[in-house]
Structure 1
Amino acid sequence: MFAPTDTQTIRDLIDRLTRLAAAEEWNGPLNPSQFAALGYLARANRFSRAPSHVADFLATTRGTASQTLKALARKDLIAETRSDEDKRSIRYDVTPAGLEMLEGPSSLEKVIDTLSPEVAASLASSLKALVLTMLHQRGGRSFGMCRTCCHHEVTETGGHCRLLNVPLSPADAAQLCHEHTPAESLQP
């Protein structure tokens, strides 16, 4: 008889939680990949909204990400903007209709909000360790908030990215960045 290990139990629980969240996302006009891309773009800084960044975040191919972005654009949930410096370079910004679609907490967020602060902090820490370790093993990017990056420097006006050598607003510092490198070690 098969007796699940702690590792298998944890994997099964994460998988089940992911499937429950994805099933809820199917209840609207978007599929889970489109919903994830829209959510990422809403939380990503201005330097991290290119199709390749979306592909990296979703851990998918650039072709799949491109099709996902085209579907969101057809639904007027995102808008394409070409770079003034390099007309080949594009980024996507979430439209007001896209932001409206993201309003309100999901069922998962509502359940997380019922956890005690201690349990929520412990869960967040454990999941962060899992994600960062897996990303480290795969050579993936962390996509953390600017203010938690080793390249972030606090200034009087908000911040400065030493990697890109650009000023950051307080809002920038709270958004996801494709170039993020955790200030702390990748190892849990």
Structure 2
Amino acid sequence: MNRLARLDNASSWSGDLNPVQRSALEYLRDANRFSRSPSHVAEFLGTTRGTMSQTLKALLRKGFVQEVRSESDKRSISYALTRAGSAVLAEDGVIAVALTNLTDQEVVELESGLRQTLRQALKLNGGKSFGQCKTCRYHEAAKGAAFCQLLSVPLSAEDSEKICIEHEEAVVA
């Protein structure tokens, strides 16, 4: 797994982006509107808030992200991708390309094994799952609409597909 991570990082150098900046952009692309603060990005990527703050400022200067101030708390900042940020992510990395050469069964088995490994690693170090809203114990889907019971807010179809800082795996009976 370390070798795969190193290959992925090596292929992440793109234009004037380093691998950490690319990872931050990928996280912001995949995260829901509640999960885009510098501390959320830092937690997901396993780095410090200070390091991530500097990374996001660099991405802001390069025009790949924009700051979004909270309506309820003007001190609270989150980040969103710009068109340039989305465009720079359009090219798949070496791992994504390699996965296209696997059979459907191999992909299913790989995903299952990696998911179990991630669960165990998170359990060991107390990390958050950052799963998709639709797989969360607080996600409620009824009559074509979705709702987050934890935050007491309606969710768009797009929100339900994104990853969330508040995610807790649904208990399967």
- 1:46-57 equivalences in 2 (<5 Å): 46-57=33-44
AA aligned to 1:18 is: A
Residue 86 of structure 1: aligned partner: 73
Residue 106 of structure 1: aligned partner: 93
The alpha-carbon deviation at position 156 of structure 1 amounts to: 2.3
Within the candidate set 91, 111, 117, 2:104 is matched to 117
AA aligned to 2:87 is: E
TM-score by length of 2: 0.96
- The question of 1:176 aligning with 2:163 is answered yes
Listed as ranges, the gaps of 5+ residues in structure 1 are 1-13
Q: Is the 8 A contact 1:158 1:173 kept in 2?
A: no
Residue 151 of structure 2: aligned partner: 164
**Residue range with higher mean Cα deviation, 92-101 or 150-159:** 150-159
Deviation string, structure 1 residues 87-119 (Cα, Å, up to 9, x no partner): 111110100000000013222111101111111
The percentage of aligned residue pairs carrying the same residue is: 48
The alpha-carbon deviation at position 83 of structure 1 amounts to: 0.6
- The question of 1:127 aligning with 2:114 is answered yes
Residue 152 of structure 1: aligned partner: 139
AA aligned to 1:125 is: S
Residue 59 of structure 1: aligned partner: 46
AA aligned to 2:139 is: H
Residue 8 of structure 1: aligned partner: none
Deviation string, structure 1 residues 32-72 (Cα, Å, up to 9, x no partner): 11100000001100000001100110011100110111111
Q: For 2:151 and 2:94, how far apart are their aligned partners in 1? A: 37
Q: For 1:106 and 1:171, how far apart are their aligned partners in 2? A: 24
Corresponding residue SS for 2:116? helix
AA aligned to 1:142 is: S
AA aligned to 2:11 is: E
Larger Rg: 1
Q: Is the 8 A contact 2:7 2:94 kept in 1?
A: no
Residue 55 of structure 2: aligned partner: 68
Q: Is the 8 A contact 2:137 2:168 kept in 1?
A: yes
